A and B are shown apart, each in its own frame.
Chain A
Amino acid sequence: MSKLFYMGAGVTHEEKRAWILGITAIASYAVYLAVILSRADGRPLAEVPYVAALLWTVGASIATTIVLSIIASIVSGDAGKKDQRDREIGRFGEYVGQSFVVIGAVAALLLAMAEAPHFWIANAVYLAFTLSAILGSIARIFAYRRGFQPW
């Protein structure tokens, strides 16, 4: 187990980026949920103002990912070095994460057809994006740690 969380010199820059993306996605969604639930205060969730909180957490998440990636590349001194294996694992992660984007789109479509409140449509899409980022990152980390055969 401890091997799975090893972060020393044997870890590529791209793997560190996968960790950063996954953890930032979890943290930003947790912050967003905490803000929304604290604002609810007994009233129905669909009536809670969510737009500003959503945009701020998405923006902060993107900014944090960029800053942490830059810091990680400065610390390890291997800025932007990406080889064939990194590219293949990156594509694999995208492919795995893609399923949740489709699920989110279908959920949003069904909610719109059912004339559900905008709150639920927006949140279904946001949750799907978050799960896509988390699942894609986990897939990439496992590919780096446990092995990856492109065939």
Chain B
Amino acid sequence: MVKPTRVTNSLRALRFANGQMTQAELATRLGVTRQTVIAIEQGRYSPSLEVAFQIAHVFGVPLEEVFQYPEESP
């Protein structure tokens, strides 16, 4: 079983807030496949820091608004 990531993201909400940007459109702007955008959105893939910053730049927001790393509950 693949160890799930604790990283969460707001990709879906950000896409909708930015003129309902499609996954394909975002993929083209990032230079990745649409399947990779889907995998990131569903938490099945953690992108590199490079791609993470590129996503933040596309939406014009800081990285923390795209990806979050919640504190571990004690």
Contacts and interface: CB of A to CB of B under 8 A. Distances in A.
B8 interface: no
Nearest to A150: B46
A39 interface: no
A120 B46 CA distance: 44
Given A84-B48, A84-B51, A85-B45, A148 B33 contact: no
B32 interface: yes
Interface in B35-74: 35-36, 38-39, 42-48, 51
Given A84-B48, A84-B51, A147 B33 contact: no
B38 A149 contact: no
A85 B39 contact: yes
Contact of A12 (B2, B5, B35, B48): B35
Q: How large is the interface on B (under 10, 10 to 19, 20 to 34, 35 or more residues)?
A: 20 to 34
Contact of A147 (B2, B47, B48, B51): B2
Contacts of A149: 2-3, 5, 45-46
B31 interface: yes
Interface string A1-36: 000000000111001000000000000000000000
Contacts of B43: 147
Contacts of B4: 147
Interface of A: 10-12, 15, 78, 81, 83-86, 142-144, 146-151
Interface of B: 1-5, 31-33, 35-36, 38-39, 42-48, 51
